[in-house]
């Protein structure tokens, strides 16, 4: 099962309804984002936006996957997520954007600012985050 299929399976798992093509963003919006950034997104991050990019119930329920217009390069990282109180951000090292599902890194946003590996790729990080939402009661599955 590829990343798109695994992300599609998250809609019935966490939201109790079938996935529809309207849940994802159009490829043209992703292409425009990549052009603005001057680099392609990793396959797993592309799959997240193409399959679930319009599902606020998953992408903004607690922590936030940034909208395409807010994806940004900060130093040596592509930032794509932010904790609900902006205490931490999530990013992918620019040197690993070519990997299909690179490891995600978390940045502590308070001094001293430091990056730590989540030791998970985009797909596994998002699923573990959604599982945690269920566990703490902010997402009903």
Sorted by where each begins, the domain ranges of the chain are: 3-136
pLDDT of residue 140: 82
pLDDT of residue 1: 66
Sign of the torsion angle spanned by Cα atoms 115, 117, 122, 125: negative
CB 23 within 8 A of CB 54: yes
Q: What is the pLDDT of residues 103-117, one digit of tens each?
A: 999 999 999 999 999
Strands (E), 75-141: 77-82, 88-93, 103-108, 114-121
Banded model confidence at residue 141, pLDDT cuts 50, 70, 90 = confident
Neighbours of 73 (CB within 10 A): 14
Residue with tokens 């490829």: 27
Does this model's pTM top 0.85? My answer is yes
List C-alpha distances in Å: 43 to 49, 100, 137: 10, 5, 30
CB 5 within 8 A of CB 51: no
Q: What is the pLDDT of residues 56-105, one digit of tens each?
A: 999 999 999 999 999 999 999 999 999 988 899 999 999 999 999 999 99
The CA-based diameter of the chain, rounded to the nearest angstrom, is: 44
Fold of 3-136: SMI1/KNR4-like (3.40.1580)
Q: What is the pLDDT of residues 21-54, one digit of tens each?
A: 999 999 999 999 999 999 999 999 999 999 999 9
How far, in Å, CA of 69 to CA of 51, rounded?
17
């Amino acid at each position: 099962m590829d990343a798109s299929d695994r992300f599609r399976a998250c809609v019935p798992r966490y939201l109790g309804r079938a996935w529809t093509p309207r849940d994802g963003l159009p490829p043209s919006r992703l292409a425009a984002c990549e052009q603005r950034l001057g680099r392609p997104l990793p396959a797993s991050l592309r799959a997240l936006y193409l399959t679930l990019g319009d599902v606020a119930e998953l992408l903004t329920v607690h922590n936030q996957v940034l909208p395409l217009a807010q994806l940004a390069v900060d130093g040596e990282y592509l930032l794509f997520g932010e904790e609900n109180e902006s205490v931490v951000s999530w990013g992918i090292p620019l040197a690993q954007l070519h990997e299909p599902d690179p490891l995600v890194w978390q940045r502590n946003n308070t001094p001293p600012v430091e990056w730590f590996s989540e030791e998970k790729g985009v797909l596994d990080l998002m699923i573990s985050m959604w599982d945690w939402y269920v566990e703490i009661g902010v997402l009903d599955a």
